[in-house]
């Protein structure tokens, strides 16, 4: 008589399967709890670092007077030239009334072997051109988008390009500081001198203008696309900060 022995392959019981599923679920839960927020914190830190960098570029440029710069309406303190950072900031706020003339912040690869331009900067290397690093330099710039020297540099920018809208922060009738009704507005003043004589005399902060800077991502970095575009069609700012200009 032949006796047939049947051998069953080892298998998990229902209970073991349920325990394994529960363990995997617990591990996924731990991963989502620990690593996903950590990743978000890293991204937030990187975003904060980038915004701080862009703001510092803007602050530095507001305090830099370049030989070639002139106020947009030729009514500066001295034949259209900015005589102090307050002059420059005053007219940059006025220029912010339209995107086409507002401030843009960007970086580009400068050709250090080329001749220096009127404002002391080097021209850009075209974005499509590759050169060894020994004749290039990464330059960060803030200027009005209609700047005659740097307008053509914007399409050759390296990395993101930011369009900046300035809106004055001014006291209302109760003394509470609020945003002005429109960007580019400087309350009760058409020139730096008038601002000091009219607003400065009753301003507890003295000769200072407070404003909010809203930063928009400029995509694509083409100034021609912003010629007749109002701020309402630019989109939402990606970050903002409060700033001031003092004399």
Q: pLDDT over 90 for what percent of the chain? A: 28
Q: What is the pLDDT of residues 33-75, one digit of tens each?
A: 554 454 444 344 447 788 899 999 999 999 988 877 766 655 5
Closest CA to 240 of 153, 139, 165: 165
The pLDDT value recorded for residue 83 is 80
Confidence bin at 208 (pLDDT 50/70/90) = confident
Tell whether the model's pLDDT for residue 114 goes beyond 80.
Answer: yes
The pLDDT value recorded for residue 192 is 82
For residues 112 and 136, the answer to whether their CB atoms sit within 8 Å is yes
Q: Which secondary-structure segment (H or E) carries 109?
A: strand 103-111
Confidence bin at 134 (pLDDT 50/70/90) = low
The pLDDT value recorded for residue 201 is 61
Q: Is the dihedral of CA 94, 100, 105, 108 positive or negative?
A: negative
Domain boundaries, the chain: 85-246
The pLDDT value recorded for residue 16 is 66
CA dist., res. 104 & res. 48, Å (int) = 19
The pLDDT value recorded for residue 220 is 86
CA dist., res. 22 & res. 20, Å (int) = 5
CA dist., res. 112 & res. 122, Å (int) = 6
> What predicted TM-score, i.e. pTM, was given to this entire model?
0.75
- In the chain, what is the greatest distance between 2 CA atoms, to the nearest angstrom? 121
Closest CA to 64 of 138, 123, 145, 120: 120
Q: Which residue has the tokens 């005053």?
A: 90
């Amino acid at each position: 008589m032949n006796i047939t022995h049947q051998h069953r392959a080892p298998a998990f019981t229902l209970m073991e399967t349920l325990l394994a599923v529960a363990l995997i679920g617990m591990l996924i839960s731990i991963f989502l709890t620990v690593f996903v927020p950590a990743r978000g914190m890293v991204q937030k830190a990187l975003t904060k670092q980038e915004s701080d960098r862009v703001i510092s570029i803007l602050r530095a440029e507001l305090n830099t007077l370049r030989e070639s710069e002139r106020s947009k309406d030729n009514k500066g303190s001295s034949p259209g030239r900015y005589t102090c950072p307050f002059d420059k900031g005053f007219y940059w706020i006025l220029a912010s009334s339209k995107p086409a003339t507002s401030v843009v912040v960007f970086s580009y690869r400068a050709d250090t072997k080329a001749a220096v331009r009127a404002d002391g900067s080097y021209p850009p290397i075209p974005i499509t051109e590759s050169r060894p690093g020994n004749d290039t330099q990464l330059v960060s710039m803030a200027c009005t988008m209609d700047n005659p020297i740097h307008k053509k540099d914007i399409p050759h920018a390296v990395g993101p390009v930011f369009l900046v809208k300035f809106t004055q922060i001014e006291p209302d009738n109760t003394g509470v500081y609020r945003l002005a009704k429109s960007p580019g507005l400087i309350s009760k003043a058409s020139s730096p001198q008038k601002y000091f004589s009219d607003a400065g005399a009753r301003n507890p902060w003295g000769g200072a203008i407070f404003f909010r800077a809203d930063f928009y991502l400029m995509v694509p970095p083409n100034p021609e696309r912003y010629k007749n575009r109002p701020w309402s069609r630019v989109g939402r700012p990606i970050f903002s900060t409060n700033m001031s200009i003092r004399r």
